[in-house]
Amino acid sequence: MKDFYLTILRDQTTASEVFRSTAKQLGSLLLAEAAKEIPMHEAEVETVLGTASGKKPACRIILVPILRAGLALLPTALELFPTAPIGMFGIRRDEKTVEPRLYYQNLPPLTSDDWILVLDPMLATAGSVSLALEKLLEAGARPDRVSLISIIASKLGVETVQKRYPAVKQIIAAVDPELNRDKFIVPGLGDFGDRYFGT
């Protein structure tokens, strides 16, 4: 199904309402994959007929979308983790230099036990995500308890995150080979934020 959803997102003729609903479907597959990494402990519950053994997350899960495109993955993440606190980074690439600029940061107090899901559908040069990871670690996050959820990444972006933050887990639907002169992912899907928000 991932490839099917990706094909719809990549298609430049996909209308904005279909782009939004498809990003949601694909996001839920990626988040379900990310959830497998979260440590669980055994838990017992009483059913009406007896005791059943089950599992519950062994730590707090924190959702951290990178504005603005990361907001596309937030509603799905909240369906899966309805009690999760939400932190946010507003990061925008400069159109000329491609340097990421942090214009907003608001994180809940973090502990080294928290499991952090960073949401950003596009990983190109990895500048934006690297800045977010740097700020998260400064705020007390542990790199081996951070999962990055992206829809499309460039090969360079994946390798850069691996090199800078080897313990961070990357859950990505597709890794594309190239970046163009403007540091857009090729073939990619274009500007995710513009297509999702209709700007």
From the candidates 60, 93, 142, 164, give the one annotated as an active-site residue.
93
Could you say which of ligand URA, ligand PRP, none residue 114 binds, taking C-beta under 5 to 8 angstroms by partner kind?
A: none
Between CA 150 and CA 70 the distance in angstroms is 9
The full DSSP string for 62-78 is EEEEEETGGGGGHHHHH
With CA atoms as reference, report the closest residue to 63 among 141, 126, 8.
141
Structure tokens at 157: 């972006």
Return the range that interacts with ligand PRP (CB under 6 A); candidates 22-30, 34-42, 127-135, 161-169. Answer: 127-135
Q: Which of residues 139-198 bind ligand URA (CB under 6 A)?
A: 184-185, 188, 191-193
Identify the burial level of 72 via C-beta atoms within 10 angstroms of its C-beta, where 0-12 means exposed, 13-18 middle and 19 or more buried: buried
Between CA 102 and CA 83 the distance in angstroms is 27
For the bound state, the minimum distance from the C-beta of residue 15 to ligand URA, rounded and expressed in Å, comes to 18
Q: How far is CA 199 from CA 16, 123, 127, in A?
A: 10, 20, 23
For the bound state, the minimum distance from the C-beta of residue 106 to ligand PRP, rounded and expressed in Å, comes to 16
**Contact between 92 and ligand PRP (CB under 6 A)?**
yes
Question: Contact, 154 vs 124, CB < 8 A?
Answer: yes
**Contact between 164 and ligand PRP (CB under 6 A)?**
no
Return the range that interacts with ligand PRP (CB under 6 A); candidates 43-51, 91-99, 111-119, 138-146. Answer: 91-99
The 69-88 site mask, x for binding ligand PRP (CB under 6 A), equals x-------------------
For ligand URA, the closer CB: 168 or 185: 185
The 96-125 site mask, x for binding ligand PRP (CB under 6 A), equals --x-x-------------------x-xxxx
